[in-house]
Amino acid sequence: MKKKRKMHGRVEKVIKSAIPGGVEKAQIHVEEGEELYREIRVENVVVDDHGHKAGLKPGAEVDVVIEADSDATTKKPD
């Protein structure tokens, strides 16, 4: 069984690669992150259920999901 946490975010900007043919990045502001760690950058590719690829647009609302196997977690008090 997997444990997970979902956080909301927004694409702040799309960063083009300085290298021709390089990977484009999406910078995402994670609302629930700590002040100095709210921005993450990921490859700007998302895939739908049919395998079709797309890129995120600036301003897009997104969910960031952290997921781990149960054996990789420790129980927290209720």
Question: The domain spanning residue 56 has which CATH number?
Answer: 2.40.50
In-domain check, residue 77: no
Q: How far is CA 66 from the centre of its chain?
A: 9
Single pTM value for the model:
0.84
Residues 30-60: tens digit of each pLDDT: 999 999 999 999 999 999 999 999 999 999 9
Instruction: Please give the DSSP secondary-structure letter assigned to residue 17.
Output: -
In-domain check, residue 76: no
Which pLDDT belongs to residue 41? Answer: 97
Residues 65-78: tens digit of each pLDDT: 999 998 889 888 88
Which pLDDT belongs to residue 62? Answer: 98
Q: In which residue are the tokens 């739908």 written?
A: 48
Instruction: Please give the DSSP secondary-structure letter assigned to residue 59.
Output: T
Which pLDDT belongs to residue 45? Answer: 96
Which pLDDT belongs to residue 18? Answer: 92
In-domain check, residue 10: yes
Quote the number of domains for the chain: 1
